[in-house]
Amino acid sequence: MNDDEQGDFRNATLLGGRPLVVRLAEDGFQQEVLEKLARLEAKMDMLVGGQQPGRMKLAEDRLVALEHNDIRRGVYDRLVSAVIAFVVSALIAMHDRFLK
């Protein structure tokens, strides 16, 4: 150890007698971080999509299609309900004429 490293070690051991900085094997740590980063990047590409649509884009497209179908079905349901209500109202109004 040179004088600078010994001074740093002494300063680090003043508090509690244990070194404050722990040296790790840089190769192992760097390798682990790079592997985790690669996995994270792969997951992000799978979700968002790189050159092709990812899962999120496909899910958004399906959601938009479902919303359009729901709106269309809502309109049809309202029209059918209105026709049924009109027929029932007409039958009630004409009830006296049919019974006589």
Give the C-alpha separation, 6 to 19, whole Å. Answer: 12
Name the 3-class secondary structure at 2. coil
- Domain borders along the chain are 1-48, 52-100
Q: For 10-48, what is each residue's pLDDT tens digit? A: 555 555 556 555 565 567 888 888 899 989 988 887 777
Q: What's the rounded mean pLDDT across residues 71-96?
A: 89
How many angstroms separate the CA atoms of 67 and 89, rounded? 32
Contact 69, 77 (CB under 8 A): no
